[in-house]
Structure 1
Amino acid sequence: MIRIAIVLGSTRPGRLGKAVADWAYSRATERGDATFDVLDVEDFGLPILDEPLPPSLGRYSQPHTKAWSEAVDRFDGYIFVTGEYNHSIPGALKNALDYLYKEWNNKAAGFVSYGSSGGIRAVEHFRAVAGELQLAGVRAQVALPLATEFENYRTFVPTAAAEMNLQTLFDQVIAWAGALKVLRPDQSHGHEPGMAA
């Protein structure tokens, strides 16, 4: 079965993203076409990138990097929950992305964003980063403006439109995650696609 991670990218105290990620996970578990889990960047305690070698080499020296790599690698696709900080994604999320490379390659990515403009500018920036990591971003996006999706700009109460958009996002991420599996090494048989077993 397709495995999708809901990645919570904000680490700041009182973050709004926790409620958004919990909502996405709750709706995801009502589906039967994929398995879902939450990866909270905060749980991994990643310092500012401290690996001496480029992530593309996959030769990690730090225990926190190895733990993050193992957690990320087991999924076929990701739904990133991100706020918008100065027209971009939170620094903690960018740092977490920068730690790894092959673990992201040829996998699907969907975006659930929030902010004064629904986080759309953060996702526009994120899509460029995802492309460099060979993450295939789907077209659908869930954008959650603070004025309409959060009571008093703090308490998350998703509208019917947000609920519908989330289901479309799930559909696209799951479909693309399945399609992209053929581009990744078959770890269960130890060979590259197109090579004799």
Structure 2
Amino acid sequence: MANPKIAVIISSTRDARFADKPAEWFMAKVGNHPELDFDLVDLRDQDLPFFNEKASNLWAPSEDPRAVAWQEKLSGYDGFVFVVAEYNHSITGALKNALDQAYKEWNRKPLAAVAYGGVGGARAVEHLRLIGIELQMVPLRNAVHIGGSDFIKVSPMGENAPMSEIEDHLEGSLDGLLEELVWWTKATKAARD
């Protein structure tokens, strides 16, 4: 039986984004996970217009083929890990738009986060969790937060050190996130099936 599939969604699309570094670190850590398979999904690579449908696809089918393609992509996943940049105490506009472009495809699936920023992206993750509740997702308690001196250590705006220099600070959070993600992915997948 195939492992459940998890999309790791990079939520920042800026040219100067930091997201690639933690995303690559996370993917290296989960590359040989025995119970889940992970795919990297970069919002830069998705041709998403600003949401302009008659309603959420819960109520009316989307008409823009780009939105439909996004929904079809999401439907193949059993859970999501968002690499979350904190912009002005919230998530990026690109991520909010990507979330709005689908509805049914997010339902009854776990939502996890690897976040970064001054306070580890905590405020953005809290906003993401609230949006996830409205999308009928299962926001996980555990998240990986890269903040404060750790963020300055690995950020290009600071020392630009490799992630390996701070990973000992992140391992406990990563283990908690993955343990919870496995449990909720299996539980929600079994219920959906």
TM-score, structure 1 as length reference = 0.88
Q: 1:105 to 1:5 in 2, by over 3 A?
A: same
Q: 1:183 to 1:20 in 2, by over 3 A?
A: same
**Aligned pairs, number:** 185
In structure 2, C-alpha distance between the alignment counterparts of 1:166 and 1:76, rounded to whole Å: 19
For 1:134, give the aligned amino acid: Q
Match of 1:18 in 2: 20
What are structure 2's unaligned runs of at least 5 residues?
none
In structure 2, C-alpha distance between the alignment counterparts of 1:68 and 1:25, rounded to whole Å: 22
Q: Quick check: which one's strand share is greater?
A: 1
How far did 1:152 drift? 6.4
Matched position secondary structure for 2:104: coil
How far did 1:150 drift? 4.2
How far did 1:35 drift? 0.8
Match of 1:72 in 2: 74
Structure 1 runs (4+) greater than 6 angstroms displaced: none
How far did 1:12 drift? 0.8
Q: 1:27 to 1:58 in 2, by over 3 A?
A: farther
For 2:108, give the aligned amino acid: N
What do residues 102-130 of structure 1 show as CA deviations (whole Å, max 9, x unaligned)?
Answer: 10000011111100111001111111100
Q: After the TM superposition, which of the residue ranges 10-19 and 150-159 deviates more from structure 2?
A: 150-159
TM-score, structure 2 as length reference = 0.89
1:172 and 2:180 are equivalent in the alignment: yes
What are structure 1's unaligned runs of at least 5 residues?
187-197
For 1:67, give the aligned amino acid: A
Match of 2:8 in 1: 6
Q: After the TM superposition, which of the residue ranges 142-151 and 42-51 deviates more from structure 2?
A: 142-151
Map 1:44-83 onto structure 2 (within 5 A). Answer: 44-57=46-59, 59-83=61-85
Q: After the TM superposition, which of the residue ranges 49-58 and 63-72 deviates more from structure 2?
A: 49-58
**How large is the RMSD of aligned CA atoms in angstroms?**
1.6
